[in-house]
Amino acid sequence: MGDSLSAAYGIDVTSGWVALLHKRLAELGYGYSVVNASVSGETTGGGRARFPQLLDLHKPHIVLLELGANDGLRGLPVSQAKSNLQAMIETAKQQGTQLVLVGMHLPPNYGPQYTTQFDAMYRDLAAQYRLSLIPFLLDGVALNQELVQADGLHPTAAAQPRLLENVWAVLKPLLHKNK
């Protein structure tokens, strides 16, 4: 459940990290299927509105929740994004779905107070709800111009294996519990 970073914006969807995750799970013999419910441009508000229906439809064991970047880039209140993420976390927990929170960092456009609060939002929610946390999906990618599209925001196809490794490091231990 994410935004353009998980929807493979600007690249072939089969090259995106979510498709690569699906391929890895199959190759390693895990019995999981992967549903990519990511939408380019999605905010936490849009995700919150879609989330209950998606849970009912797919009944996932694990959800990777990668939302918030668009809220931050639009300068929406951090408290609003946090409230939306909390609602999704609580909905998943009520249904017995394990959730992995995928964190994001913002460029400094909105000043240090906003970016500090935004970064802390993911750590705070992970601690509050005892969630596994991927601290920064774009770790090792965001500042490498060779791995970022011309827009300066979205990762290239060449960056997708690195994104998968960022996710895999946190996800793999959970798969043993749910295999």
What residues are labeled active site? 4, 151, 154
- CB atoms inside a 10 Å sphere around CB 118: 22
3-state helix/strand/coil string of the chain: CECCCCCCCCCCHHHCHHHHHHHHHHHCCCCCCCCCCCCCCCCHHHHHHHHHHHHHHHCCCEEEEECCHHHHHCCCCHHHHHHHHHHHHHHHHHCCCEEEEECCCCCHHHCHHHHHHHHHHHHHHHHHHCCEEECCCCCCCCCCHHHECCCCCCECHHHHHHHHHHHHHHHHHHHHHHC
